A and B are shown apart, each in its own frame.
Chain A
Amino acid sequence: MSSELFYQPITALAAALAEKKLTAVELTQAVIARTKATEPRIHAFNSHDEADALAQAAASDARRAAGQSLGALDGIPIALKDVIAVRNQPLTASSKMLANFVSPYDAGVTEKLRKAGAVLWGRLNCDEFAMGSSTENSAFGPTSNPWDTTRVPGGSSGGSSAALAAGSAIATLGSDTGGSIRQPAALCGVVGLKPTYGLVSRYGLIAFASSLDQIGPFARTVEDAAIVLGAIAGHDERDSTSFKTEIPDYRAALATNRGPWKLGIPKEYFAEGLDPEIAQAVEQAIAFYKAQGCEIREVSLPHTQYCLDTYYVIATAEASSNLARYDGIRYGHRAAGAKDVVDLYYQSRAEGFGAEVKRRIILGTYVLSSGYYDAYYLRAQKVRTLIRQDFLNAFKEVDALITPTSPVPAFKLGEKADPLALYLCDIYTIGVNLAGLPAISVPCGFTKSGLPIGTQIIGQPFRESSLLAIARAYEQAHSWSTKHPIL
C-alpha cells in the first residue's frame, strides 16, 4: 500500500485487508495519526476515542484471522456526524445544550455499521443541531475546508466532508435535511449521497426536521458510497418512517447498470446567482454524458422558486417541536439559579442554544401559532406536494436530473454573516428533501483558485442503484477523486 493509506478508497483498503497486506489496527493507527496531524488546522472532530477505535480494529483483525470477516467494511474507520448516537460516546449536535451528553444507545445506522465490522471513529463537527450551511454554527468552533483552511467546508455536515477530504477517516456519515450532505461534499471535493427519505433509519439521529432528515454517506468514490449505503440502508421497526423495501447490492449493481440514460436538465437550476465556473464545470459534465450517448433534455420544475420558503416553514415548524425536549430537566444544559420551572426553561434554553437555532425555533413556533397555521404550515405542505409532483412529472421523461450542487464554491469563514445569504447556498439541494428523493454530489472539477466543484444528480425514489451507476460513469472517466488537498 502507498504511504498515504488514509487517502485510499474502501475498495482498495478492503482488498489489502483481505489479502493480509494490511491490518485494521495499522489502518486505524494511520487514520488516528493523520487526524492528530490535521485537526489543529481543520477541527473536523468534536471528540474521538483512540482506545475504543483501536479495540474495534483489533477485534476486526481477530475476526479476519479466524476467517470470519464481515465484508468490505470490516476494519474500515468510519466517523459519524455528531448527531448520530453511538453508545457510550458523546452526542452533542455541536451544541452547548448537549455538551456533556453521552448517548446510552446506538442509532440504527451505528448498529448496522458495527454489524458490518466498521471501526467507529470519532464524532464529527457540524452546524448546531444540523442547522446551517457552513459549520460555523457549531458551539465548539468552525471546521476549516482542507482545500483552503480560510474557507468553510460547507454544512451542516462540514466535519464529515472535511474529515474525509483531510484523510482523517476512510468514509463518514452525515445527515441531510436541506443539502447538508451534498453541499459540504461539493465544497470539499468528495462524494456525498442523500438517500431516498425512508431508506435509512432515523432511529438515533438527533431530529432537526423529521420529514426531511436523512442519514447518508460521504465517500472518496461512488463505489465506496455504494458500499456504505448498502451497510446502512434497510427497514428499522424503531423508525415508523423507515420504508420496507428490498435492499439491492448497490456495489454489484454498478457493474450491471450501464445506461445510456435519459438525463434532464432543470432550467430553473441554471438561473441567476450561479457561479460561472460552477456552471461551466456542470455543463462539461452534461457534455460528457451526451458524448456517452445519453439523451439530454431540458425539463422544468416550475415550483422551484417556492422551495426555499416552503422549506423554511416546514423545517422550522418541525424543529421548534423537535427541539422542545432540550429543556434542562432530564439531561443537557441546565441554567444555574433559576427561580422556578418556567425560568429554568427560559434560562437553560437561552444559554444552551446558539443564535441560528433560536432563530429557527422562533420562526417555527410562529408558523405553527394559532391563526397562522393555515397560512403558513398548511400552505407549505400543499406547495411541498406540488414540488414533489414537479419532480415526478420530470421523471416521466427522464431517468435522472443533473444540476449544480451549490451555487458557489467554498466561501471564506465569516463571509456570509447574513442568514439569508447562507440560506441561498441550499437552493439546488432543498427541493430534493422536500420531494423525498435520492441525490448525490460528485466532484466535477475545480475553480481556477483550486476549490472543488460538485455536480448533483437527482434520482427517482428508491432507485439509488441507478443513481449511483450514473454518477459512477462520470467518475470513472475523470480523475477528480484522486486529487487531495495539500495539508
Chain B
Amino acid sequence: MNYEAVIGLEVHVQIKTQSKMFTRVAAGYGHEPNTLTDPVVLALPGALPVMNHAALDAIIKAGLLLGCEIAPVCKWDRKNYFYPDSPKNYQISQYDQPICLGGSVEIELPGAARNLMGEHKNIPLTRIHLEEDVGKLNHEDHDSLVDYNRAGTPLMEIVSDPAMHTADEAYAYLTSLRATMIYGGISDCDMEKGQLRCDANISIRPVGETKLGTKVELKNLNSISFVRDGIAHEIKRQIGLMERGGTIVQETRDYDGQTGTSQSLRSKEMAHDYRYFPDPDLMPVRVDEPWKARLRAECPELPFVKQRRFAEQYQLPYTLTSVLVWDRELADYFEETAQLAGPGKAQAAGNWIVNDLLRELTAANLTLATSRVRPAHIAGLVKLVEAGTIFTNAAKEVFIEMAATGDQPDVIAERKGLKAAPTDTNELEQWCRDAIAGNAKSAAEFRAGKEGAINALKGPVMKAAKGKANPKLVDETLRRLLAEA
C-alpha cells in the first residue's frame, strides 16, 4: 500500500523586543544566569504583568505579512501547569481568541536543478498567537538549575494547517517563514539561540484517504535540517510500523538529530488539563484600523514577491534572484547598485554582487555592512566595463583592490594602469599575425572548424598587449586574419 504523510508545524518564534512581554526588564541572550529578572519575571508575591505593546505590534505585523485576519481585540488567557521553568506556574497565552487567524506561507520546493525554479505552493496557517517564553532548566548530576533570563520573552506560536506532505515541504515552509520573520524585523530566528523552535505533528494515511491518521508530535528539532531529517525519519518509522502490522499511538517523541533516532517522551494519556481562563490581571486590548494601517505601512515586500519583481524589472535570471532576495539587506544593496549603474546594467551588477562580492565577504569574514565595497563601487565598476574603459580581467583586479582599499574603481584602474590603451590597430594586427604564425596548430584547428582553438591564439596577443587590448577587437582581428589566409 502507498502511504501519504500529513504534516503540520507548530513554530515558536521569539519576538525581538527591547524588553520582555509583560515587564520592562530587558530581553536578551547570553547574559549571566538570572540577571534579566525582576519581581514580575520571578513571579514574586504581588507582581503584576503589563503588556509590552511593541510585541503586539510585531505579531500583528507578522500576521499582516502572512495574510492573516487580525482579531479586533487582543485577549489574554492563563495556561495553568506546574513546571519549574514557568515562574508563575501558569503561562500567559492566548487560548480561544488568537490575535492572528488564517493566512498562509508561500514556499518553493526544490527545482529539478539548482539553477531552476521549483514549484511554488501556499501552506495555509491555522493561527498565530502571542505568549511568553519560559525559563531554561539545566540538569546537573543531582540538581536541576533554573535560569529565568529567557522567561517572559515575547513568543509567537505559528500553527500551520496539517497541509504538508513531505519533509522537503516542511523544510521549505520553515525557510520561507524564517525569511519572512527576518524581513519584517520581527525576529532574528537564530535557532541556535532558541529564537525559532519547531515541533512537528506527523501522521500517515493510505493515498486517497481523506481522514487524518493518528498523529505523533515530534519535538526538539533544533535546526532546519533536523526538522527535515526528523520528519523524514518519522514518516519512515510510521510507514514501517504500519507495514509490519503495528499501530501508531498518539504520543510525543523526542528527535535526536545527532543519531537520527527518536524516542517516546509521553503518551496522550499524560496530557495536561491546562485550565485556561481569561487572565484577570490584563485588560483586553482593542486593535483598531489606524493601528493596523500604521503597521501595514511598515510591512516590507516579501522575498518571493521581490523575486518576481527582480526578474521582471531587472531581467535577472533565477540564478541571481534566488540568491539576492533572501537577505533583505543584500536585496536592498543590489537595488541600490542597479539604480546607480543605470538602465541595462542590473544583471552585470547582480553578477558582481552574487559572484564576487559574496565570495569576498565570506573570505574576509565581513558583512555587507562592514565591507568597504559600497553599491557605488560596483556600479562604477560596471560602468567602466560597459564603456570599454577596462576589460573584464582587469575589472577583477580592480574589484580585489576596491575591497582591500575602498577606493573608487576608476581611481584604482588609473593607479594600476589597468585602463584599456587607445587601440593601435596596426600594432594589434601585428600581434595577431605573430600569434597565428607562432601557433600554427591551433590556427589550423580553428580553420578546420574547432571554434575553441581561437582561445589559444588570444593568450599570446593579450600577453603582447600587456592585458590592455580590447578582447572584442582581438577576437575580431584574429577571425579576420584567420579567414584571410
Do A203 and B48 touch (CB < 8 A)? yes
Binds A, one of B55-63, B81-89, B247-255: B81-89
Do B46 and A107 touch (CB < 8 A)? yes
Most central of B45, B276, B281 by chain A CB within 10 Å: B45
Contacting B277 at CB < 8 Å: which of A204, A241, A321, A342?
A: A321
Residues from chain B with a CB closer than 8 A to the CB of A321 are 78, 80, 90, 275, 277
- With the chains together, A317 CA to B146 CA distance in Å? 28
Chain B, residue nearest A129 (CB) = B45
Chain B, residue nearest A209 (CB) = B280
Q: Is B116 an interface residue (CB 8 A)?
A: no
Do B39 and A104 touch (CB < 8 A)? yes
Looking at the assembled complex, report how far the CB atom of B265 sits from the nearest CB atom of chain A, in whole angstroms. Answer: 16
Residues from chain B with a CB closer than 8 A to the CB of A85 are 45-46
Q: Which chain A residues in 222-247 approach chain B with CB under 8 Å?
A: 237-241
Q: Is B354 an interface residue (CB 8 A)?
A: no
Q: Is B50 an interface residue (CB 8 A)?
A: yes
Do B45 and A239 touch (CB < 8 A)? no
Q: Is A307 an interface residue (CB 8 A)?
A: no
Q: Is B282 an interface residue (CB 8 A)?
A: yes
Residues from chain B with a CB closer than 8 A to the CB of A107 are 46
Residues from chain B with a CB closer than 8 A to the CB of A104 are 39, 44
Chain A, residue nearest B34 (CB) = A330
Q: Which chain A residues in 313-347 approach chain B with CB under 8 Å?
A: 317-318, 320-321, 324-325, 327, 329-331, 341-342, 345
Looking at the assembled complex, report how far the CB atom of B334 sits from the nearest CB atom of chain A, in whole angstroms. Answer: 45
| Mask: chain B, 30-57; 1 = CB below 8 Å from A; 0 = not | 0000000001001111111111000000
Residues from chain A with a CB closer than 8 A to the CB of B140 are none
Residues from chain A with a CB closer than 8 A to the CB of B50 are 237-240
- With the chains together, A202 CA to B139 CA distance in Å? 36
Q: Is A73 an interface residue (CB 8 A)?
A: no
Contacting A207 at CB < 8 Å: which of B46, B83, B89?
A: B46
Q: Which chain A residues in 183-241 approach chain B with CB under 8 Å?
A: 202-207, 209-211, 237-241
- With the chains together, A237 CA to B48 CA distance in Å? 10
- With the chains together, A239 CA to B78 CA distance in Å? 17
Looking at the assembled complex, report how far the CB atom of A201 sits from the nearest CB atom of chain B, in whole angstroms. Answer: 9
Residues from chain B with a CB closer than 8 A to the CB of A311 are none
Contacting A93 at CB < 8 Å: which of B45, B49, B275?
A: B45
Q: Is A256 an interface residue (CB 8 A)?
A: no
Do A330 and B42 touch (CB < 8 A)? yes
Residues from chain B with a CB closer than 8 A to the CB of A257 are none
Residues from chain B with a CB closer than 8 A to the CB of A369 are 273, 275
Q: Is B283 an interface residue (CB 8 A)?
A: yes
Q: Is B2 an interface residue (CB 8 A)?
A: no
Residues from chain A with a CB closer than 8 A to the CB of B78 are 321
Do B46 and A241 touch (CB < 8 A)? no
B side interface size, CB within 8 A = 30
Q: Is B138 an interface residue (CB 8 A)?
A: no
Do B45 and A210 touch (CB < 8 A)? no
Q: Is B259 an interface residue (CB 8 A)?
A: no
- With the chains together, A6 CA to B228 CA distance in Å? 75
Q: Is B144 an interface residue (CB 8 A)?
A: yes
- With the chains together, A317 CA to B39 CA distance in Å? 23
Residues from chain A with a CB closer than 8 A to the CB of B280 are 209-211, 241, 318
- With the chains together, A389 CA to B83 CA distance in Å? 40
Chain B, residue nearest A198 (CB) = B283
| Mask: chain B, 259-283; 1 = CB below 8 Å from A; 0 = not | 0000000000000010111001111
- With the chains together, A369 CA to B88 CA distance in Å? 18
Contacting A240 at CB < 8 Å: which of B44, B51, B90?
A: B51
Chain B, residue nearest A211 (CB) = B280
Looking at the assembled complex, report how far the CB atom of B32 sits from the nearest CB atom of chain A, in whole angstroms. Answer: 17
Looking at the assembled complex, report how far the CB atom of A243 sits from the nearest CB atom of chain B, in whole angstroms. Answer: 10
Do A329 and B84 touch (CB < 8 A)? yes
Do B88 and A325 touch (CB < 8 A)? yes
Residues from chain A with a CB closer than 8 A to the CB of B39 are 104-105
Q: Is A449 an interface residue (CB 8 A)?
A: no
Looking at the assembled complex, report how far the CB atom of A213 sits from the nearest CB atom of chain B, in whole angstroms. Answer: 9
Q: Which chain A residues in 346-372 approach chain B with CB under 8 Å?
A: 365, 368-370
Q: Which chain A residues in 86-115 approach chain B with CB under 8 Å?
A: 91, 93, 98, 101, 103-105, 107
Looking at the assembled complex, report how far the CB atom of B81 sits from the nearest CB atom of chain A, in whole angstroms. Answer: 9
Do B275 and A325 touch (CB < 8 A)? no
- With the chains together, A119 CA to B90 CA distance in Å? 37
Q: Is A289 an interface residue (CB 8 A)?
A: no
- With the chains together, A324 CA to B281 CA distance in Å? 15
Do B80 and A206 touch (CB < 8 A)? no
Looking at the assembled complex, report how far the CB atom of B140 sits from the nearest CB atom of chain A, in whole angstroms. Answer: 14
Q: Is A377 an interface residue (CB 8 A)?
A: yes
- With the chains together, A449 CA to B260 CA distance in Å? 82
Q: Is A373 an interface residue (CB 8 A)?
A: yes
Chain A, residue nearest B38 (CB) = A105
Do A365 and B82 touch (CB < 8 A)? no
Residues from chain B with a CB closer than 8 A to the CB of A317 are 277
The answer to whether residues A205 and B44 also contact, given A321-B78, A324-B80, A368-B275 and a CB cut-off of 8 A, is no
Do B283 and A341 touch (CB < 8 A)? no
Contacting A103 at CB < 8 Å: which of B45, B51, B90, B144?
A: B45
Do A341 and B48 touch (CB < 8 A)? no
Chain B, residue nearest A327 (CB) = B89
Residues from chain B with a CB closer than 8 A to the CB of A368 are 80, 275-277
Q: Which chain B residues in 54-105 approach chain A with CB under 8 Å?
A: 78, 80, 82-84, 87-90
Looking at the assembled complex, report how far the CB atom of B389 sits from the nearest CB atom of chain A, in whole angstroms. Answer: 64
Do A370 and B43 touch (CB < 8 A)? no
Do A205 and B46 touch (CB < 8 A)? yes
Do A324 and B277 touch (CB < 8 A)? no
Contacting A331 at CB < 8 Å: which of B44, B46, B51?
A: B44
| Mask: chain A, 6-45; 1 = CB below 8 Å from B; 0 = not | 0000000000000000000000000000000000000000
Residues from chain A with a CB closer than 8 A to the CB of B48 are 202-203, 207, 238-240
Looking at the assembled complex, report how far the CB atom of A338 sits from the nearest CB atom of chain B, in whole angstroms. Answer: 12
- With the chains together, A241 CA to B281 CA distance in Å? 6
- With the chains together, A210 CA to B283 CA distance in Å? 12
- With the chains together, A226 CA to B242 CA distance in Å? 75
Residues from chain B with a CB closer than 8 A to the CB of A206 are 45-46
Residues from chain B with a CB closer than 8 A to the CB of A84 are 46
Most central of B42, B46, B280 by chain A CB within 10 Å: B46
- With the chains together, A341 CA to B87 CA distance in Å? 14
Do B283 and A370 touch (CB < 8 A)? no
Looking at the assembled complex, report how far the CB atom of A283 sits from the nearest CB atom of chain B, in whole angstroms. Answer: 37
Residues from chain A with a CB closer than 8 A to the CB of B277 are 317, 321, 368, 373, 377
Looking at the assembled complex, report how far the CB atom of A178 sits from the nearest CB atom of chain B, in whole angstroms. Answer: 15
Q: Which chain B residues in 367-408 approach chain A with CB under 8 Å?
A: none
Looking at the assembled complex, report how far the CB atom of A88 sits from the nearest CB atom of chain B, in whole angstroms. Answer: 13
Residues from chain A with a CB closer than 8 A to the CB of B273 are 369-370
Looking at the assembled complex, report how far the CB atom of B314 sits from the nearest CB atom of chain A, in whole angstroms. Answer: 50
Residues from chain A with a CB closer than 8 A to the CB of B84 are 327, 329, 341
Do A324 and B82 touch (CB < 8 A)? yes
Residues from chain A with a CB closer than 8 A to the CB of B283 are 240-241
Residues from chain B with a CB closer than 8 A to the CB of A204 are 46-47
Residues from chain A with a CB closer than 8 A to the CB of B144 are 341
Do B80 and A101 touch (CB < 8 A)? no
Q: Which chain A residues in 246-260 approach chain B with CB under 8 Å?
A: none
Residues from chain B with a CB closer than 8 A to the CB of A83 are 46
Chain A, residue nearest B144 (CB) = A341
Looking at the assembled complex, report how far the CB atom of A343 sits from the nearest CB atom of chain B, in whole angstroms. Answer: 12
Q: A85-B46, A368-B80 are in contact. List 16 more A-B contacts (CB 8 A).
A: A85-B45, A93-B45, A98-B45, A206-B45, A210-B281, A240-B50, A240-B282, A241-B280, A325-B87, A327-B82, A327-B89, A329-B84, A331-B44, A341-B83, A345-B82, A368-B275
6 A-B pairs within 8 Å (CB atoms) are namely A105-B39, A203-B48, A206-B45, A327-B82, A329-B146, A342-B82
Interface residues of A (CB under 8 A from B): 83-85, 91, 93, 98, 101, 103-105, 107, 202-207, 209-211, 237-241, 317-318, 320-321, 324-325, 327, 329-331, 341-342, 345, 365, 368-370, 373, 377
Chain A to chain B: the 3 pairs with minimum beta-carbon distance, closest first: A324-B89, A368-B275, A210-B280
